[in-house]
Structure 1
């Protein structure tokens, strides 16, 4: 009568969830659990919240959807709040759990938490099994060991595309047997120390958390609008729902997997046709993989001022006034201001915008890049530890950029990507 606990984190889905599938195959009963980790709602050493209201709201919606989908299979989601190394072992004892299944982490703090839980479970003679569920390519299938992964994306991409295969996504389970799960109750934003968010009608897309919404978005972007076929041409857009896929928030929370998206792209290419744009979406998923594997390779280095380089060109200063102007969209650049206001009011910003505001922060304001990355961590609805810190280090010149120093001419960027000032007019009214 084996009982397993599935500890959900940023893998809030039923489709293509190896953790869930493995637990079901090895056990008779499953206890699906989500723990609101207290440390995720603290203020960081940079003075920003680790999780802001936009992402927290998206998380609450995703958990509600996950509970609904688990209930359809005969189970449900048990919600706890506190420190995982205390809360998870409590449930293990209560339900006499023999094994805990969880997604594998690569970033420093997440790995620390995983280790603390594992140590406590060891005392209870309960095993912790981790599964790699976040990438397009499985780490074991890469044509190099983690320590030998090329530091330049192009070299990584070419060899990986040539020599590695992408595994098929796991089918969703048909049924789950569970012990009786306590009534589902989510904390309110206020209980997490956060304020309710107001929606802004100018937002590019009304993001709503959950696997159901993720699949709905994919169907809209692929099949209803066929926007995928012109993704490469439109991806540098800045206004509206369909200039880019907007999958990032659902990917970050694991409401959809990269392999599921890949399988759908392949299906789309068969039915509607393949072109540069359909490939480009896979190319972007590969960037996401690259940063995750870089974190496995370099571990804590991405959080250091000097990143993965030994020398640092930018200043390490903090100018409260300049930081406040950047956050509140009152700098001397209207293009930067429009982007920063979009982020502040919606929790989202286009890829083009992100590159510009990060370059401005590092090169024009000449401040410690990690402050910018920490503000993004609080604010972004689609925050992903590896993509966020990896991209910031890249733009600060201390990451994986093969060029010594990447500097954006903000005025030129504004005239190239917001020629008619539509974006600036939208946000600077």
Structure 2
């Protein structure tokens, strides 16, 4: 048993099914939960966009507020620090004489570098950093292949994983936490983070609000109150309204809910209302999320390179400022693209169908360097997840995991198929 430990929260802002938190409680007399606003997350990227835009930052602040409230019901709370994690975390270790820091394990390049720097500084203080894999449906250790041998084609990955691996049970929720005195939560304002508050447009599919409580409420609504899950496969390509898809992605991105918890709830749902293609399809989508995470573990920096994980270059490396501006502001020659881009700009969200179309348009019709599109999404999306975002963009640019090579969407046909009555375009293109 160690005397004092830190739990460093990152994108695992929940108390339900949180192995990191439970291990810390089990191994320590006292724990201090901490969240560090990493200054690097609020800088401008080399592509000219903010790394974190106002919609996502607002969602993060709400999620932290909720996490603090949850922790306080258990006798703890959340300590907030701002700066570089490799400076701030060791400072707290010294302040609380902590012998160990517990944290979520990272897979993407920048996050791994941050983790390494923190580990190096903690080593100097004779403090250990222990990490746990808490973001995926399937645990990396349970996969039927090593990370370096994971198939690059999703279907091959899915079939073998479904056949040979089990999904672990979610962890239970802690009932009590021993913590030192933690003063009331002090969150920075958006202004302090260099951002201007945006109000989500009233036409948004959902008025997203961060936090584990909201995530559980959304799940309950989508599953048990409306039984929308039973028709998910048929409706998931919708574009207007709250319930054409689960909309879990913003909460999943910050770890306000875990994929394994969702899976356990799907099993409960199936017992009550029956299993069908739709209940399976949500698991299928969670598997895509896993796949991109494991791909990032396998390829590390490659998903951020222009040529992606391929060797031959396919789309242009050029950037036309005028075209970029038209795309961002929804003033392109395509009304379908414009409606989607305005929805993103004014709400921080876009349907899956919309994302595929605007990315295809960016890479194929505008023939621009796909990474600028991915970087704009990184700034704007409430549900930005590094692996899903960059993995999907690389896929659509033809430099990722698409076995068919260059994927090209016929935008007019897509608009006719998915917005037959133009209700989506009317919603966003009439002021």
Aligning the two structures, in what range does the TM-score lie when normalised by the shorter sequence?
over 0.9
Q: Which residue of 1 aligns with 2:109?
A: 108
Q: Partner of 1:171: helix, strand, or coil?
A: coil
CA deviation map 1:324-351 (0-9, x unaligned): 0000000000000000000000000000
Cα distance, 1:412 vs. partner?
Answer: 0.1
- 1:347-358 equivalences under 5 Å are 347-358=348-359
Cα distance, 1:181 vs. partner?
Answer: 1.2
Q: Aligned partners of 1:341, 1:199: CA distance in 2, in Å?
A: 12
Structure 2 gap ranges (5+): none
Q: Aligned partners of 1:119, 1:189: CA distance in 2, in Å?
A: 31
Q: Which residue of 2 aligns with 1:416?
A: 417
Q: Partner of 2:155: helix, strand, or coil?
A: helix
Q: Partner of 1:28: helix, strand, or coil?
A: strand
Q: CA RMSD in A?
A: 0.5
Cα distance, 1:312 vs. partner?
Answer: 1.2
Q: Aligned partners of 1:271, 1:420: CA distance in 2, in Å?
A: 35
- 1:341-420 equivalences under 5 Å are 341-420=342-421
Cα distance, 1:182 vs. partner?
Answer: 2.6
Cα distance, 1:404 vs. partner?
Answer: 1.7
Q: Which residue of 2 aligns with 1:178?
A: 179
- 1:209-228 equivalences under 5 Å are 209-228=210-229
Cα distance, 1:172 vs. partner?
Answer: 0.5
Cα distance, 1:183 vs. partner?
Answer: 2.5
CA deviation map 1:192-246 (0-9, x unaligned): 0000112211000010000000000000000110000000000000000000000
Q: Aligned partners of 2:208, 2:405: CA distance in 1, in Å?
A: 36
CA deviation map 1:395-425 (0-9, x unaligned): 0000000002100000000000000000000
Q: Which residue of 2 aligns with 1:94?
A: 95
Q: Which residue of 1 aligns with 2:68?
A: 67
Q: Any runs of at least 4 consecutive aligned residues in structure 1 with deviations exceeding 3 A, and if so which?
A: none
Cα distance, 1:313 vs. partner?
Answer: 1.2
Q: Does 1:166 align with 2:164?
A: no
TM-score by length of 1: 1.00
Q: Which residue of 2 aligns with 1:24?
A: 25
Q: Aligned partners of 1:37, 1:298: CA distance in 2, in Å?
A: 24
Q: Does 1:9 align with 2:10?
A: yes
Q: Aligned partners of 1:394, 1:257: CA distance in 2, in Å?
A: 25
Q: Does 1:201 align with 2:202?
A: yes
Q: Aligned partners of 1:316, 1:426: CA distance in 2, in Å?
A: 34
TM-score by length of 2: 0.99
Q: Which residue of 2 aligns with 1:241?
A: 242
Structure 1 gap ranges (5+): none
Q: Aligned partners of 1:118, 1:243: CA distance in 2, in Å?
A: 43
Q: Does 1:157 align with 2:158?
A: yes
